[in-house]
Amino acid sequence: MATAIPTRTPPVFRQAGVCLHIASLPGPFGIGEIGAEARRFVDTMCQMQLGVWQFLPTGPTAYGDSPYQPLSTFAGNELLISIGDLLETGLLAEQEAEELTALPTGFVDYGALIPVKTRLLDIAAQRFSYKASDENKARYAAFIAANDTAWLHDYALFRILKTRHGERSWPEWAPEYVRRDQQALHKLEIDEAPQIESIKIIQFLFHEQWRRFRAYANAGGITLFGDMPIYIALDSSDAWADRDLLRLDENGRPERVAGVPPDYYSEDGQRWGNPLYAWEKHASDGYQWWIDRLRAAAKLSNLVRIDHFRGFEAYWSVPADSATARIGAWEPGPGDAIFDAMQAALGPLPIVAEDLGVITPEVEALRDRHHIPGMRVLQFDVCDPEFRLTDVGQNSVCYTGTHDNDTTQGWFHGGPGDIRSAAEIKRTQKAVLEITCGTPETIHSDLIRAAFSTNAQLAIAPMQDYLGLGSDARLNTPGTPGGNWRWRVLLTQLEPEFCDNIADMVRASGRELTH
């Protein structure tokens, strides 16, 4: 019998929300976390009358710290585990966390954070066996029973082997591990048994803390809105353990990779480098991996945005040896079949389609046949002289900008690295001022009010736009090698007066929080 995913009804008409990366939360331990800091922000959202919290993918990150290239589809990012919660449960001592409290609060210094927090999590995992309560030990046993054979054990082996091989991608490992030789893996399990157990305990701590966080948010009337990249990274435990789901050769190398073709924003296109799916294999077992993936995502959040939705209809296939995405070909995706399979197994799908860029009528038809909301981004739309706010339909999520855009203030004034000419920026400024009837000084609030005024069932702005911040608060600049995913909000920026002003804006639009 099919098991429905644990979700509540998607947002009702006219709600307002915020996009804030979990790592961007304020807090004393060098990075935003899913303990007291996340619960405090839920309280702040209630003060602001915002009912939906959208966050970026929460998988473990690797080189570049991008949440969109996680090391696992199913594992949680260990860096988001709450140190405060570990202190409260006695798995860590106050003095042990002092190195973290010395880190910056205005941005994430990943280079300094990762070695310290990794060491502390290992200490907490070692203490779990004799300090954890009987209830937590029972919950850990249940967690192992539910996840070990599905993904957890392979993830633990993958992380150990990746460390052994200098963090290189798995096709560059010793041949016996690339081939997953069972004798070599069995010896690894014996030699590294304590570390394997530690990795599993740390994953349990993440998922247990997240369970409490979600319960707190939902009890306060807050909908959690997650994010799922359509592709998985080659450098991931999923690709290593389930390579038959991907178009890889016997050495784990892709012959063709994912990307998007040249467009207005990039004359070379975007060569993402992710391996492509062997869709015929997914179809042969009724898309079970996707069913499992969406079920796991729905345990974390009430809604899930699927990045690059158009790839389900057709995707840009680039030769792996090509330096750019100029050369490529459109290949057909699974279309209706994948959504039919997920809905048959899980019931109504709590997903939102990231349908930005060049979208064909076929992609729109696929989205609409399955009643999936799409996205509208005002920073893109206002550049169209034919655009009107009334064009934004009800079955959509309307944004001022996204995590990949400059902040609204930075975009309006033309931030560093802006590819637009001075004339284009002036035309954009004229268009957005006409649409919002606003001013350059208040353009961030004016664009938020414009998003709130649309018919979209959900309107969202990044936290930086609510705060009216400039380009120095930008979270990510696509195509740049470093310096991304670092921005953090400060607790002092979330003063009661600020929250009350946002609440007034939300109430004026009729999008106030409802329980």
Catalytic residue among 354, 355, 381, 406: 354
Q: Terminal CA-to-CA distance of the chain, rounded, Å? A: 32
Which residue out of 208, 404, 418, 512 is catalytically annotated? 404
Contact 230/311 with Cβ under 8 angstroms? Answer: yes
Q: Which of 307, 340, 418, 512 is catalytic?
A: 307
Give the tokens for residue 468.
Answer: 């009216």
Rounded Cα distance between 87 and 96, Å, is: 9
| Residue 227 known to be catalytic | no
Would the CA dihedral through 354, 356, 358, 364 be positive or negative? positive
Task: Give 382-398 as a 3 state SS string.
Answer: CCCCCCCHHHCCCCEEE
354 an active-site residue? yes
> What does 256-278 look like in DSSP terms, one character per residue?
EEEEE--BTTBTT-EEEEEEPB-
Rounded Cα distance between 486 and 511, Å, is 30
* Cβ atoms of residues 41 and 19 within 8 Å: no
Tell me phi and psi for residue 150, to 5 degrees: -75, -45
**CA-based nearest residue to 252, from 260, 264, 263, 240:** 240
- The Cα 503–Cα 45 span in angstroms is 9
Q: What does the alpha-carbon distance between residue 195 and residue 391 come to, in Å, rounded to a whole number?
A: 55
38 CB-contact burial (10 Å; exposed 0-12 / middle 13-18 / buried 19+): buried
Non-local CB neighbours of 187 within 8 Å, separated by 6+ positions:
none
Number of Cβ within a 10 Å radius of residue 188: 19
Kind of pairing between the strands at 329-332 and 314-319? antiparallel
Distance CA 66, CA 275 (A): 17
Which amino acid makes up residue 359? I
Tokens 């409260």 locate to 88
Which residue bears the tokens 């409802």? 514
Question: Cα(411)–Cα(428) distance, rounded to whole angstroms?
Answer: 9
Reply yes or no on whether 381 is catalytic: no
> So which residues are the catalytic ones?
307, 354, 404
